[in-house]
Amino acid sequence: METFLQSLWQYAYLLAAFATVFAIKWLNHPSTARRGVIVGEIGFALAIIGTLLRQEVVNYTGIAIALVIGAMIGAPMARLMPMTSVPQFTALSHAFGALAAALVGTAEYYLEPTAPTGFKMVALTIEVLLGFLTFTASLMAFGKLQGLVPSPPITYKGQNFVNLAFLGVGVVCGVWPIVTAAPDWVYPVFVLISLIFGVMFILPIGGGDMPTVIALLNSFAGASACAMGFTLENRLLIIAGALNAASGFILSVIMCKAMNRSFTNVLFGAFGQVQEKAGGKAEARPVRSASAEDAAMLLANASKVIIVPGYGMAVAQAQHKVRELTDQLVKRGVDVQFAIHPVAGRMPGHMNVLLAEADIPYDRLHEMEDINNEFAEADVALVIGANDVVNPAARHDKTSPIYGMPILDVDKARNVMVIKRSMNPGFAGIENELYYDPKCLMLFGDAKGFVSEIVKEVNAQSPVAA
Amino acid sequence: MSGHNPSDVFELGILSVYVFLLAVILGLELVRRVSPLLHTPLMSLTNAISAISVVGGILIAGAAGVKPLPKVLGLIAVTAAMLNIVAGFMITDRMLKMFKRETGKGGKK
C-alpha cells in the first residue's frame, strides 16, 4: 500500500501524458474540440496533484500561494480579454510560459552547480536559451501587436551579422559550463544575452509576418519545456513539450507555405519595408470607386457573394456589421460564403475566431483551396480589409515580392468590391493591381462604417416581405 | 529508479530520446489533421500545454533544504506557469464556445 502511494504520481503522470495527446487530437474538429479542452484541464490537474504527491516535495505553503496568485491573475486576464486581442494575448501567454521554463532552468543551474552531467547540461542550456529568448521575443511580439512598438520592421545595416555574432557569444557562454567549470559571471551573461537576443530577433520582423512568428515562439516555448524534461528525467515534460514544439513548428511551416516564403526569408528578410521603393514610381492610374448605395444594389441582386476578410476587418472591428450584412443578404436569398486565406490576420486562424465571435456559423467559412474554384460562379467578391492575399500579381509578376504566393482568386468573380481606407499599399508595401481591374469597385472608407451603411441601403432598397 | 549506475543513466537517457522522437512524430501528425478553422484555439491550447514546466517549478521550490535563490526562482516559475495554464485553457474554451454550426436561421443561441 505504501509503495502504491509512493508511486501514485507515476500513474498520474501517465494519465496526464495521455490527456495532453487527446486534448490535441480532439481539437481537430469543432464538435469534439471542447471535450479536448476538458481533457487537457484534467491532465494538468493530474500533473500538478501528482507532482505535489511526490516524496521530494515537502514544502507546500509557497507553492500553494504561487498557484493561487497565478490562477488569480490568469483567470481575469482570460475573461476580460477582448476577442480582437487574441493574437497579442497569445503572445503574452507565451512570454509567461517561456519565463517559467527559463527560471526553472536557472534554478536548476544554481541548485547543483557541480553535478549536472554533460548531456543534462546541454539540455539545460537549450532550455534556458530558448526560454529567455522566447520570453522577450514574445513580449516584443505583444508590443508590436498591441501597437506599443512600431509594427514595421526595424532594420539597420549589417543587422543579420550583428544578430548572428551576438548569438554566437551567447552560445559560447552557454557551452562553456557544459565543457568545463565556468567562472561565476558566465551564466548571468548567458542569461542576459538570451534575453537581449529575443528583442533583436523580433525587431526586423514586420507585423504581417506575426502569424509565422507567433507559431514559432509557441514551438520554442514547447521545446524549452521539453528540454527541461531531459534535465529532470521527466517524461511527462518531454511528451507535452515535444507535442507543443511539433505543433508550433508545423503551424509556422503552414504559414510560410501559405506565403510561398522560406523560414529564412520570414525571419531575416525584413519583409514589409519596401514601401519607399514601391511608392517612388506610383503613378496615378484610374480606379473606379462606388458608394454604399451602388454596393448594396449589387449585393442584394447577386445570387452568390463571397466575402474575403483580412486584418483590416479586425482593426476596424467590423465583424459584427459583416454578420448583419450576411443575415440581411441571406434573408433575401443570397448565398453568402467566406473565403479565408491561411495568413489573413495576425495569427493562424485569426479570421475564423473573429467571425465566430460575430456568430457567423463556421459552415460558411472556407479554406482557400476549398473555395477558390467557386469565385468564378460568384456574382460579387467583397474584400474587407484584405490586400496582398488577393493581389493577382502573385500569379504572374515575377518581380513582385509576393510572386508565387497562393492567393484567393477574387478577380475571377463577376464583380469585385474592395472596402479600403485609402489607396495606400498594404503591409507588404506592394501595389495591388486588382484595384485597377475594370470590374473592381473601390469602396473607400472605414470597414465598420461602410459595411453598416451598406446594410442600411440594402434594407432601404429592398425591404424583405415579412 | 534509485541507485543509478552509469549504464542505467545511459539507458534512461536513451529511453527519453525514444519518447521524445515518438512524441514529436505524434505531434506533427495530430496537428496536421487540425482544421485551419481551429488554428487559433489550437495555438492557445498548446500554449497552455507549454506551461507543463509548472511541474519543474514545483519540484524545485518544494524540495527539502533548497537554497533561497533557486526556491524564489522556482516559485516565480510556478506563478508564471499557473497564470499561463489558467489563461490558456480559459481563452481556448471561450473561443471554442463561439464556433457554431448553422442552426435554422440567424445562428443565435
A102-142 residue pLDDT tens: 999 999 888 865 556 678 888 999 999 999 999 999 999 99
Buried b (16+ CB within 10 A) or exposed e, A73-88: bbeebbeebebbbbbb
Mean pLDDT of B21-29: 94
A388 is catalytic: yes
- Measured in whole angstroms, the distance separating CA A154 from the mean position of its chain's CA atoms is 20
Which of A181-185, A208-212, A355-359, B58-62 is predicted with the least confidence, judged by mean pLDDT? A181-185
Confidence check: pLDDT of B108 > 50: no
Chain B residue with minimum CA distance to A110: B70
**Chain B contact set for A18 (CB, 8 A):** none
Mean pLDDT of A197-203: 90
Confidence check: pLDDT of B107 > 50: no
**Count of pairs with CB atoms under 8 A, one residue in A, one in B:** 383
| 3-state DSSP assignment of residue A381 | strand
Mark which residues 17-46 of B lie under 8 Å from A by CB: 19-20, 23-28, 30-46
Percent of chain A with pLDDT over 70: 93
| 3-state DSSP assignment of residue A420 | strand
CA separation for the pair A402, A249 (Å, rounded): 22
pLDDT of residue A115: 57
* Residue A29 identity (one-letter amino acid): H
**Chain B nearest C-alpha distance from A225 (Å):** 6
Confidence check: pLDDT of A157 > 70: yes
Options A327, A359, A388, A446, the catalytic residue: A388
CA separation for the pair A237, A227 (Å, rounded): 8
CA separation for the pair A463, A328 (Å, rounded): 10
Using the structure block, give the residue that is written with the C-alpha cell 463571397. A306
Q: Of A454, A452, A449, which Cα lies nearest the Cα of A417?
A: A454
Res. A41 pLDDT band, cuts 50 70 90: very high
**Chain A contact set for B47 (CB, 8 A):** 90, 93-94, 97, 218, 221, 244
Q: Are strands A380-384 and A440-444 parallel, antiparallel or unpaired?
A: unpaired
Confidence check: pLDDT of A445 > 80: yes
Confidence check: pLDDT of A330 > 60: yes
Best of B15, B19, B83 to disrupt the A interface by mutation (most A CBs within 10 Å)?
B83
B63 at the A interface (CB within 8 A)? yes
Do residue B54 and residue A100 have CB atoms under 8 angstroms apart?
A: yes
Domains delineated in chain A: 1-78 (no CATH), 93-273 (no CATH), 285-461 (3.40.50.1220)
pLDDT digits (tens, 9 = 90+) for A381-437: 999 988 888 989 888 888 887 888 899 999 999 999 999 887 766 666 677 888 888
ipTM: 0.89
pLDDT of residue A281: 45
Confidence check: pLDDT of B109 > 50: no
Residues 6+ apart with CB under 8 A from A92: A138, A139, A142
pLDDT averaged over every residue in chain A:
87
Contacts 24+ apart (CB under 8 A), A399-404: A400/A430, A401/A271, A401/A274, A401/A428, A401/A430, A402/A259, A402/A260, A402/A428, A402/A430, A403/A260, A404/A260
User: What pTM value is reported for the model?
Assistant: 0.88
Confidence check: pLDDT of B9 > 70: no
| Grid cell at residue A86 | 487574441
**Beta carbons of A73 and B43 less than 8 angstroms apart:** no
**Beta carbons of A365 and A340 less than 8 angstroms apart:** yes
A442 at the B interface (CB within 8 A)? no
pLDDT of residue A225: 95
pLDDT digits (tens, 9 = 90+) for A202-260: 888 887 788 889 999 999 999 999 999 999 989 999 999 999 999 999 999 988 888 88
Do residue A66 and residue B61 have CB atoms under 8 angstroms apart?
A: yes
Which of A169-173, A459-463, B51-55, B61-65 is predicted with the least confidence, judged by mean pLDDT? A459-463
| Grid cell at residue A365 | 467559412
**Chain B nearest C-alpha distance from A63 (Å):** 6
DSSP state of B38: G
pLDDT digits (tens, 9 = 90+) for B67-85: 899 999 999 999 999 999 9
Confidence check: pLDDT of A269 > 80: no
Confidence check: pLDDT of A276 > 50: no
**Chain B contact set for A239 (CB, 8 A):** 19, 23
pLDDT of residue A112: 65
Confidence check: pLDDT of A176 > 50: yes
